[in-house]
Amino acid sequence: MTSTIPPPLVVEGLYVRYGDRPVLEGLDLTLAPGDIYGLLGPNGAGKTTLIRTICGRVRPHNGSIRIAGERGRSSLRHIGLVPQELALYPYLSVRENLEVFGRLSGLSATATEGAISWAGQATGIASRLGDRVDILSGGLKRRVNIAAAILHRPALLILDEPTVGVALDARNGVHDVVVQLSHSGMGILLATHDLDQADALCTRVGFLRHGVISPQGEPRRLVEEAFRQQKQIVLELRQPASAAQAGVLSKAGFTPTNGGYTWMMMAPLGDQSVERLEPALARLGVETREIRLREPGLESLFVELSREAEGVA
Amino acid sequence: MILVMLRVMALNVIRDRGALAMAFLLPPVIFMIFAAIFLGISGDEMRLRVALGVAEQTAQTKRLEAALRGEDTLRLLPGRENSAEAVASLVAAGEADVGLFVAGDLREAQQPLRVFVDPGKAVAGAMLSGQVQRVLGHSLPEIGLGRTAPLVESLVGGFTPGQAAQLSAALDAIAEGETAEAADGELVGIETVGAPSGSSVIVTYYAGAIAILFLLFSGMQGAATLIEERHAGILDRLAVGPSGTDVVVLGKFLCLILQGVLQVSLIFLIAALVYGVSVVTRLGPWILTTLAAAAAAAGLGLAVASACTTKQQAQTISTFVVLVCSAIGGSMVPRFMMPPWMQDIGWYTPNAWAIEAYHGALWRSDALTALLPQLAWLTTMGLGGVLLALFVSRLRLRLS
């Protein structure tokens, strides 16, 4: 049976240039209702440009964008945008803020009242509607930021780094809200640098590189395809490796992150070399805090893809 | 430690090019404006606009007119009125700073020269009176002598027919070019024009002048919230809504007008209660003027806020715009005291039009049709500003 609900977002063959510089080069992206799509990529890859183009603020040179089956200016009413900043009036109460954004999203006064009640429940802020925004905690502000974007029940919800600077428990609260909203049928496009967040939350992720999204798919499947039958060896050092030590580690296939404190490499499943690693590192004078073997995740994939982008063999 | 902070602050100032330019551009520009104004007040550059009327043309009045038109310190309006009422109405309408009517024979009539002055420009009457007597003494000295001759005659017990004939011939000779000592007489009388009122014209003038000054300040400050909303991402959020960002600009425009009307109401409430400025009897024109002035200030504020990238930039440019407009537009010093070139520039500021409109509405009791030019200019400035703000705000969403 074919679903009658149009996909929240269909981007086909999107080309965007800033002057002579190509940013998006034939990008394709489709979100189904209920999808939570993690848009990943290094800084400057074009994530913000893609979001701006979807929101009608950048005119593409070629390609098409359909939101809930519609094109052009009228399609924008199906978008709810949660900017990275707290796009709220701090001196107004939560309810007053939601009234403002409800009316400006085209709802009548009566419909706005109903929408505030629904959005308050959906984001878990129903009991704080009377509080001024500037006295709320960071996590609650983030939830209000989301509530203000969903009052008109958009088909597509775009979140740009929704948990930057938020404590871990508050971040989990925001994750719950996003999952709940996806269950209501919204397509959710999540631009993030937080790979753990993308791993835990997203039904699909895509890496934006060289103007296109590739690879893309379910996080687990992408990782399995990239690192079939491989485990990741992670070294946590007590001090950053010296130049000589770094040279040896790099030659052995390790890649540094976290300012040289953490080194990672992929190893075939069942490789016994990890057992010989500790004495070898001791001989090299490298003080290790921890050596562990783990399942590779999105972070491993991201590092691998970044290395490829930089031309590292 | 202190030097470290000094360095940080100095680097901040040096690297914020806009703030740097304003910090070092604003003081000399403001100084030059005030120097020009006060040079004018000291008399070096002040050139009064004078309406001239003559009851009956004679050789003397022609010579007087020619001498006055040759005076660098005066700007006689083109043409010549033939009644005192016409001269007075030109002064009352603000088309001339001061008026001069030659009512009778310069040698014999009692106060043949009548100076008409707006009470708000009292100093202009005294200045013209002095200038006219100087011109008479220099260019028509026989007038002064002729007017003092009867006094001399009564003091010496009467001239003989020979002396009287000699005096007459001497006066004629002086009139034809020979010089003589200047003399004063009861030549000039000063009269004020405008509707009789219990209030001070100065209070009426400055109520309008201060009103537009504060309208500009609050308009600029209120409009700067546009920049905060842009940085907070509120405009990004609204850009995908059906209303777009236009509603933000237009909503602020209306709110600033409302806020401005309330502010100005307080100023004029005090003017009416404490100084007897007749606001209540002229409520309609006052409301229209206030709405138009508030719209002009709001439009200008929004245009500046939309053009500025940061709040600091907006603050610096706002200060510059408000100070310069208020100085040139007459909120600080009456415009008739400024050099003519500065008076001309003044018409590009909302202050000049707002002050003129309030003066017309409350002091001259102008009909609405007479206020239309001022109201139209202020409204056009307001609408022009808000249209610019709408355009720039849309452009920013595309470019940001």
10-residue mean pLDDT series, chain A (313 residues) = 78 91 92 94 87 91 92 89 92 95 92 94 92 92 93 94 80 88 93 86 91 89 84 89 89 84 82 76 88 84 74 47
Cβ distance A104 to B243 less than 8 Å, yes or no, reads yes
Bigger pLDDT: B116 vs B12? B116
Please tell me the distance from the alpha carbon of residue B158 to that of residue B151, in angstroms, as a whole number.
10
Nearest residue in A to B241, CA atom = A105
Cβ distance A87 to B236 less than 8 Å, yes or no, reads yes
Residue B155 has pLDDT above 80, yes or no: no
Nearest residue in B to A49, CA atom = B400
Contacts of B213 (CB under 8 A, 6+ apart): B322, B326, B331, B351
- Each residue of B108-117: pLDDT tens digit? 666 788 888 8
Cβ distance B233 to A85 less than 8 Å, yes or no, reads yes
Cβ distance B242 to A77 less than 8 Å, yes or no, reads yes
Give me the residue spans of the domains in chain A: 9-218, 228-295
- Each residue of B295-329: pLDDT tens digit? 999 999 999 999 998 888 888 889 889 988 998 89
Task: Report the b/e string of B22-39 with b at 16+ CB within 10 A.
Answer: beeebeeeeeebeebbee
Size of interface A-B (CB pairs under 8 A): 54
Nearest residue in B to A90, CA atom = B232
Four-CA torsion B24, B28, B34, B37, nearest 10 degrees: -140
Neighbours of B7 (CB within 10 A): 10
Please tell me the distance from the alpha carbon of residue B227 to that of residue A246, in angstroms, as a whole number.
48
Residue B102 has pLDDT above 50, yes or no: yes
Bigger pLDDT: B256 vs A166? B256
- Provide the pLDDT for residue B182: 41
Q: E strands along chain A, which residues?
A: 9-18, 21-31, 36-40, 62-67, 79-82, 156-160, 187-191, 204-209, 212-217, 230-237, 255-257, 262-268, 288-294
Task: Say whether residue A88 is in contact with chain B using an 8 A CB cutoff.
Answer: yes
Residue B17 has pLDDT above 80, yes or no: no
CATH class as words, domain A9-218: alpha beta
Nearest to B240 among A81, A84, A86 (CB): A81
Could you give the C-alpha distances from B100 to B77, B106, B175, B340, in angstroms and in order?
11, 13, 22, 20
Q: pTM of the prediction?
A: 0.75
Cβ distance B398 to A149 less than 8 Å, yes or no, reads no
The C-alpha of A88 sits at a distance from chain B's nearest C-alpha, in angstroms, of 7
Cβ distance A76 to B241 less than 8 Å, yes or no, reads yes
Task: Say whether residue B250 is in contact with chain A using an 8 A CB cutoff.
Answer: no
Chain B interface, best mutation among A104, A146, A152, A158, by max B CB count within 10 A: A104
Could you give the C-alpha distances from B263 to B250, B273, B277, B293, B350, in angstroms and in order?
20, 16, 17, 12, 17
**B:379-398 residues touching chain A, CB 8 A cutoff:** 397-398
- Provide the pLDDT for residue A43: 82
**A:143-182 residues touching chain B, CB 8 A cutoff:** 148-149
Q: Tokens at residue B149, please? A: 């001759």
Domain B48-192 has CATH 3.40.190: yes
For the segment B144-163, the average pLDDT, to the nearest whole number, is: 68
Bigger pLDDT: B214 vs A307? B214
Question: In CATH, what number does A228-295 get?
Answer: 3.30.70
Bigger pLDDT: B142 vs A179? A179
Residue B181 has pLDDT above 60, yes or no: no
Task: Say whether residue A89 is in contact with chain B using an 8 A CB cutoff.
Answer: yes
- Provide the pLDDT for residue A305: 80
SS3 track for A125-138 = CHHHCCCEHHHCCH
Confidence label for B180 from pLDDT (cuts 50, 70 and 90): very low
Nearest residue in B to A77, CA atom = B241
Query: Do A140 and A128 meet the contact criterion of CB atoms below 8 Å apart?
Result: yes
Neighbours of A275 (CB within 10 A): 9
Tell me the chain A residues in contact with residue B238 when contact means C-beta distances shorter than 8 Å: 101, 104
- Provide the pLDDT for residue B184: 45
Chain A interface, best mutation among B228, B229, B234, B249, by max A CB count within 10 A: B234
Total count of residues recorded for chain A: 313
Neighbours of B398 (CB within 10 A): 12
Neighbours of B241 (CB within 10 A): 20
Confidence label for B154 from pLDDT (cuts 50, 70 and 90): low
Mean pLDDT of chain B: 83
Radius of gyration of chain B (CA): 28
Bigger pLDDT: B103 vs A190? A190
- Provide the pLDDT for residue B69: 86
- Provide the pLDDT for residue B57: 82
For the segment B185-192, the average pLDDT, to the nearest whole number, is: 68
* H or E stretch covering B52: strand B48-54
Tell me the chain B residues in contact with residue A80 when contact means C-beta distances shorter than 8 Å: 240
Give start-end residues of each CATH 3.40.190 domain in chain B: 48-192
Confidence label for B151 from pLDDT (cuts 50, 70 and 90): low
Query: Do A256 and A306 meet the contact criterion of CB atoms below 8 Å apart?
Result: no
Q: Which of A168, A161, A114, A122 is nearest to A144 (CA)?
A: A122
- Provide the pLDDT for residue A256: 86
Neighbours of A137 (CB within 10 A): 12
Bigger pLDDT: B181 vs B43? B43
Task: Say whether residue A83 is in contact with chain B using an 8 A CB cutoff.
Answer: yes
Strand partners, A39: A191, A206
Cβ distance A55 to B238 less than 8 Å, yes or no, reads no
- Provide the pLDDT for residue B259: 94
For the segment B114-141, the average pLDDT, to the nearest whole number, is: 82
SS3 track for B79-119 = CCECCHHHHHHHHHCCCCCEEEEECCCCCCCCCCEEEEECH
Tell me the chain B residues in contact with residue A76 when contact means C-beta distances shorter than 8 Å: 240-242
- Provide the pLDDT for residue B253: 96
The C-alpha of B329 sits at a distance from chain A's nearest C-alpha, in angstroms, of 36
For the segment B353-378, the average pLDDT, to the nearest whole number, is: 89
Nearest to B237 among A59, A87, A106 (CB): A87
Cβ distance B247 to A104 less than 8 Å, yes or no, reads yes
